[in-house]
Structure 1
């Protein structure tokens, strides 16, 4: 294996034990979740969390999501109100992150919260992340396992290509199911759209989309999820030597969904952007995706990816 290549282990008992040992020793590990691959470290270990920021080149004012096994573990770290408990009961384990007041004495490293009085927390559904939480015995801070502002990874090979030897071990459990990062909710405000859509949230309590001037949760920076090449949105046809990523009736070099299925498009989004970025074309174009359901999350990621 190349000296600059990380170790990739197929998910299983031995690989999970190896990853947990690294976490307990203060290291970092790339692990799949149901959304994207995350770069995990013990959220209570300041030095370990610093290794995440160093590996990603992530600005220290950008907080991290903490992953825990279950609601009881979450309540030991964050202060829940009735709204938060209702959302947790409906959507956990799953791709919903809640921004809640940090419980006094929770032991979470200040670098995780970027010094804020709140914490972003979720209970993941993916078997590999759940195993790592169980075997490491620690809450895990885990942003996406890619260089800061780059395309998020939905496969182990995306992690290896983006971070190289900066991550010592990658647990490989194939492509992620959702393909975009978790929905983030603070109170009754959606800070980042994701697989848990506004319509799904509305079945539990009234919510509204919102933004804040301050970065109070992951995924709020104007430029994010970006390929190296310029990106054009809403394309109907290829222009020049563009790599065209189609959707529905718009065909191209690749497609998010030939059937116009926004859920399939979300699962394929970052993988398609990775292929376009690796192509021999100088620019990338993406067809329009309906702004409904998880299409809202797709368009959020594309807008940030194209912002320069």
Structure 2
């Protein structure tokens, strides 16, 4: 039976975060608020826990979850190469709704799924999420909904979809203030590329990076709002997690030629949205073992 904590109450919030942190350390699943939609998360370094997360959502290893962190330092311990703009993007938009897909540190002892050596990382701007992440370290977090269903903007909506059997703890932080999916940017190429449009506009990204390649997609040109945080850039199921499924392939050359504008054609995916970058248009969120900033447990 799930334990539900109203985080608007100071005592309940403190107890809930302590209970959720213990649950994550045991490899259990918890639901937490983020600055986009609610997420379901667990210990990023427990393959069994991550497999349970994917099973609970109803998806496979080809859609690995993103990783949420509580600090920039924690993120850099997971990333092998930030490219030319990664640090600037973190300093400008974190904590906030920007997911960065980067090459993962090769020595990390985890199994998030078929990531093809990449990791999608985000630091959410939500006080409850940040408190929990500073207790647990990096968490694998996907949107708190069944795959293909609408994303949860409240803890109640998450409970309706996920039930009270598979999730150990629900942290109720109230209704999401801005249920717009995070923007996903791929930094594994020389020129940053938007894999999914979201809360951070490409104009704001270009103000930091200069040249940014727009999202390759068919038809839809506006950011998603109260939709599944796991919906990929081209409009199919899968998302913040979809950004984790592997490296973007042949379209990269075409994208590089575009330099500054959105490419409207191509067949190039929440929360979370993930490590890897399943070609954003194809099928389709928010532990540092040696302490809040440590990484002892993350290396083999």
TM-score (normalised: structure 1): 0.66
Aligned to 1:191: 195
Structure 1 position 210, deviation (Å): 2.9
Q: Is 1:61 aligned with 2:101?
A: no
Q: Is 1:224 aligned with 2:237?
A: yes
The higher relative CO (CA closer than 8 Å, separation ≥ 6) is in: 2
Structure 1 position 69, deviation (Å): 1.4
Return the match for 2:208 from 204, 207, 210.
204
Contact 2:28-2:167 at 8 Å conserved across structures: no
Counting matched residue pairs gives: 217
Structure 1 position 222, deviation (Å): 4.2
CA-to-partner distance for each residue in 1:149-187, whole Å, 9 max, x for gaps? 110011001101111123222100101122022110003
CA-to-partner distance for each residue in 1:106-139, whole Å, 9 max, x for gaps? 223242xx24111100111111111111122x21
CA-to-partner distance for each residue in 1:239-292, whole Å, 9 max, x for gaps? xxxxxxxxxxxxxxxxxxxxxxxxxxxxxxxxxxxxxxxxxxxxxxxxxxxxxx
Contact 2:147-2:230 at 8 Å conserved across structures: no
Structure 1 position 218, deviation (Å): 5.8
What secondary structure, in the 3-state scheme, does the structure 1 residue paired with 2:106 have? Answer: coil
Contact 1:182-1:195 at 8 Å conserved across structures: yes
Query: Highest Rg: 1 or 2?
Result: 1
What secondary structure, in the 3-state scheme, does the structure 2 residue paired with 1:130 have? Answer: helix
| Separation of aligned partners in 2, 1:74 and 1:108 | 15
What secondary structure, in the 3-state scheme, does the structure 2 residue paired with 1:18 have? Answer: helix
Structure 1 position 223, deviation (Å): 2.8
| Separation of aligned partners in 2, 1:218 and 1:106 | 25
Structure 1 position 74, deviation (Å): 0.8
CA-to-partner distance for each residue in 1:4-38, whole Å, 9 max, x for gaps? xx432112111100110100111010000001101
Q: Is 1:31 aligned with 2:35?
A: no
Aligned to 1:167: 167
What secondary structure, in the 3-state scheme, does the structure 2 residue paired with 1:142 have? Answer: strand
Q: Is 1:8 aligned with 2:9?
A: no
| Separation of aligned partners in 1, 2:112 and 2:147 | 20
| Separation of aligned partners in 2, 1:40 and 1:143 | 6
What secondary structure, in the 3-state scheme, does the structure 2 residue paired with 1:76 have? Answer: helix
Structure 1 position 65, deviation (Å): 0.9
| Separation of aligned partners in 2, 1:31 and 1:200 | 28
Structure 1 position 89, deviation (Å): 1.1
| Separation of aligned partners in 1, 2:64 and 2:128 | 23
Alignment of 1:279-298 (within 5 A): none
Give 1 or 2: higher helix fraction. 1
Contact 1:64-1:218 at 8 Å conserved across structures: no
| Separation of aligned partners in 1, 2:216 and 2:104 | 20
Aligned to 1:88: 90
What secondary structure, in the 3-state scheme, does the structure 2 residue paired with 1:82 have? Answer: coil
Contact 1:189-1:209 at 8 Å conserved across structures: yes
Aligned to 2:117: 117
Aligned to 2:180: 180
Q: Cα RMSD over matched residues? A: 2.2
Contact 1:66-1:139 at 8 Å conserved across structures: yes
Q: Which runs of 5+ in 1 are unaligned?
A: 226-303
| Separation of aligned partners in 1, 2:5 and 2:208 | 39
Structure 1 position 80, deviation (Å): 1.2
| Separation of aligned partners in 1, 2:215 and 2:149 | 24
